[in-house]
Chains A and B, each alone.
Chain A
Amino acid sequence: EVQLVESGGDLVQPGGSLRLSCTASGLTVSSDYMSWVRQAPGKGLEWVSVLYAGGSTYYADSVKGRFTISRDNSRNTLFLQMNTLTAEDTAVYYCARGGGAYCGNDCYRTFDYWGQGTLVTVSS
């Protein structure tokens, strides 16, 4: 059974930094596509970033240059380093499996497993 558990959410001041973690079981982070998706309070979902098994990374324009996605293979853990935070970054951050193309005879793209999320609040 796949489980994704996020941690690291906190209250941080504008301009500050925070690192989120997503510890996985039932899948191998280093050989899968792993993404971060966020949801501001009372708002919709927003894709943030993806890390491919091969190491390629992609980001939403809203976080490019400020956020960095990475992983620790030995801990089977995904990270999101967030710098220069603003109030607009306040959200629940979800870790999800997916974001790349899974190809056999066909290719498909999904976010099929999700964690329960961790809350980041940016406020003075």
Chain B
Amino acid sequence: QSALTQPRSVSGSPGQSVTISCTGTSSDVGGYNYVSWYQQHPGKAPKLMIYDVTKRPSGVPDRFSGSKSGNTASLTISGLQAEDEADYYCCSFADSNSYVFGTGTGVTVL
């Protein structure tokens, strides 16, 4: 159950797009279409942003989108806004009815 690999940080100017990758194995990301993404502001609980690779919960802006290819999932934030500055974690269902989270990516809005 090794953590999924994410870049440590990404940054962009307001209005730009950023993409965060999340790389796992065939035992997690590549084997199941159950990848979710969570946003976490400092000192706060995580918030669900994307589930089942591409689905957005009600209330999450449509500038957040998800995708997957092979063992790598991605979260794209289009039209970056100041309030998007936070840590983002991917999570995948994995073998043996377990879950594995990513290492986390800090998004900075320049």
Q: Is the CB of B97 within 8 A of A111?
A: no
The 8 Å CB contact of B98, one of A56, A60, A114, is A60
B107 interface residue (CB < 8 Å to A):
no
Contact B91 A44 (CB under 8 A): no
How many angstroms from the CA of A106 to the CA of B53 in the assembled complex? 14
Q: What is the total number of residues of chain B having a CB less than 8 Å from a CB of chain A?
A: 27
- Residue among A37, A94, A110 making CB contact with B51, cutoff 8 Å: A110
A1 within 8 A of B: no
Picked from B44, B93, B96, B101, the residue with its CB within 8 Å of the CB of A44 is B101
Q: Which residue of B lies closest to A112 (CB)?
A: B48
Nearest B residue (CB) for A109: B34
Interface residue? B109 (CB, 8 A): no
Selected A-B contacts with CB under 8 Å, 26 pairs: A35-B99, A37-B46, A37-B101, A44-B3, A45-B38, A45-B46, A45-B101, A46-B101, A56-B97, A60-B1, A60-B98, A94-B45, A108-B51, A108-B55, A109-B34, A109-B36, A109-B51, A109-B93, A110-B36, A110-B51, A110-B52, A112-B48, A112-B51, A112-B57, A114-B45, A116-B45
Residue numbers of A with Cβ under 8 A of B are 35, 37, 44-47, 50, 56, 58, 60-62, 94, 99, 106, 108-112, 114-117
Interface residues of B (CB under 8 A from A): 1, 3, 34, 36, 38, 40, 44-48, 51-52, 55, 57, 89, 91, 93, 96-104
